[in-house]
Structure 1
């Protein structure tokens, strides 16, 4: 049986969601094919936690662990960390150096998708609709009035490298701008000021095995009880999620076409989930997650269920195709 390290935790506030994702993966891996282990990564330590809740330190030199005087090496890494260091390419580069196969996209593509600054610019060059935006670096001189004149109010201020809507603010009045800027800069040295798009928000899960055929899962419509689909809406039940979304056939077909195009342009592998806003029947790309949430409350598992795909079989295909890759 292949020894699979399920890697969870991370360095950001998304770690709590990652633990739930990792647990769901652990519970649904086929025990006839895989021997799964829970690996917890934090800034302080990397550990393997046993079923008896014993902790064993991971040797970062070769990603091994000593248990009962025996060295354990892993055949595969299932990365379930949202945010850094799992979604931004850091772990991918680490496992590439060790020649250990892992789930998802490689270092380069993970790094591009995680950084909104790069991702939006990249996709815009390929004709993907995105909102108007301006990038601001920390300590950079800028004119607030000129920015708001171009972007308009309401607008969003976002850290360039952050997930789960952490650090994001919707600015409804000019006097809210400075606080929103400060909040975003607490998480990142690069931020985005982005125009508000009024329309229907949808979440689109996409996956492929060996990049042979890109498939789109049933689309989810998101109706947030809050001002936008923020962290609370995503993980505290403050949103209504409709899967499959009730969309006109031509709009649904167009979203599927664009979602596949985005996946291909970004040269992704495995699973991803992207958000779009539909404005006057035209989808606008918002952001993409190359390691989507896999907790019981997350959208991606619900989309798999709607498509009639079992978690166990889906994870098996993800692992086997990643090993072949």
Structure 2
């Protein structure tokens, strides 16, 4: 009998459509000879399994099952590719823990921590990892323009503290842009992170580990045609992505070693992408951790796998089977 794999996508945030694109990528990567694969779309209107004929079947949240041709289907494994809530912040992980269904991502605690950008960076800072100067602002409190300029300076980035895909992220260059940028961030999250601008080379590095493998993928260099690597750069082609990155072998090794260390410090699971910026003097600065990275055919992880000569099907199988090996 083939294992039944549910690709869990959609979600409740602005990133719903991006997540569905990632689901298409993952569906194409998983070996259909070995696994029976369904996509399950989560949204405000309910949870629905997308069947082979394109029709939808309502998911019973009591046991994560659904009906197909009069037969009850209960997935053996959940591949979570929701960018944002509830799939990136520990909520869905807790649900699957309660049901005893293995899943692809970090556990509840790690997912909740890494979804909180400010807390993650402060935690990793305690291990000697370089981060930008930053501060957290709660929606109910707000902050004055003068305080932002005094504590962080301009230019700076104002971003949702709990979000992804660059929704609500603004590069702020003038005092007049501060409050509108905060409102854009608060539209996505109750907290905003204000982060000092760092000038340098932006990088992305994927990694996954199983019981018998530790794979750090080649690094991608990100050259955005916009002010920064925003939503349009990510998903509308307004960026040049160079894999492997144009780094010296020594710096490449340092970045990959740090990616592996961060994975272990946090106790990550499944595919993770770590983003950095290299500043003057080849200083490696952490930007953020992505525990459900984009998985379209042109996303960073598939690019990096191709550069490494690794088939995405092999990576998917590694991640799935690691949950069933003794």
* Shorter-normalised TM range: over 0.9
Matched, 1:226 2:219: no
Gaps of 5+ in 2: none
Q: Conserved in 1, the CA contact under 8 Å of 2:145 and 2:175?
A: no
Q: Which residue of 1 aligns with 2:242?
A: 242
CA contact (8 A) 1:102 1:323 kept: no
Partner of 1:273: 273
Q: Is the 8 A contact 1:157 1:171 kept in 2?
A: yes
Aligned length: 324
String of CA shifts for 1:85-116, please: whole Å, max 9, x gaps: 11111111000000001102111101101111
Unaligned runs of 5+ in 1: none
Question: Normalised by the size of structure 1, how large is the TM-score?
Answer: 0.97
Q: RMSD between aligned alpha carbons?
A: 1.3
Deviations 1:158-180 (A, max 9, x none): 11001011100000111111110
Q: Quick one: distance in 2 between partners of 1:141 and 1:316?
A: 46
- Give the deviation of 1:213 after TM superposition: 4.5
Could you tell me how far 1:220 is from its partner in structure 2? 0.4
Residues 55-134 of structure 1 correspond to what in structure 2 (within 5 A)? Answer: 55-134=56-135
Instruction: Give distance in 2, aligned partners of 1:262 and 1:214.
Output: 13
Contact persistence 1:17–1:295 (CA under 8 A): no
TM-score normalised according to structure 2 size: 0.96
| Cα shift at 1:141 | 5.3
Partner residue in 2 for 1:207 = 208
Equivalent residue runs for 1:172-183 within 5 Å = 172-183=173-184
2:298 match: 297
Q: Does structure 2 retain, via aligned residues, the 8 Å contact 1:206–1:216?
A: yes
In structure 1, the residue matched to 2:285 is: 284
Q: Tell whether the 8 Å contact from 2:57 to 2:68 is kept in structure 1 after alignment.
A: yes
Is residue 272–residue 288 contact of structure 1 (8 Å, CA) maintained in 2? yes
**SS of residue paired to 1:84:** coil
1:164-207 C-alpha deviation (Å, 9 max, x unpaired): 11100000111111110111111111111100000010111111
Alpha-carbon distance between aligned partners in 2 of 1:298 and 1:292, rounded to the nearest angstrom:
8
Query: Aligned equivalents of 1:203 and 1:104: distance in 2?
Result: 18
> In the aligned structure 2, how far is the partner of 1:256 from the partner of 1:316?
23
1:102-148 deviation per Cα after TM superposition (whole angstroms, max 9, x unaligned): 10211110110111121111111111100000111112154431321
In 1, Cα distance between equivalents of 2:221 and 2:194: 25
Question: How far apart are the structure 1 equivalents of 2:202 and 2:14?
Answer: 24
2:216 and 2:260 in contact (8 A); partners too = yes
- Contact kept, 8 Å, 2:115 with 2:162, in 1: the verdict is yes
Secondary structure of 2:194 counterpart: strand
Instruction: Give the Cα separation in 2 of the matches to 1:130 and 1:96.
Output: 32
CA contact (8 A) 1:10 1:81 kept: yes
8 Å Cα contact 2:93/2:103 also seen in 1: yes
Pick which of 183-192 and 140-149 moved more: 140-149
Other-structure match for 2:199: 198
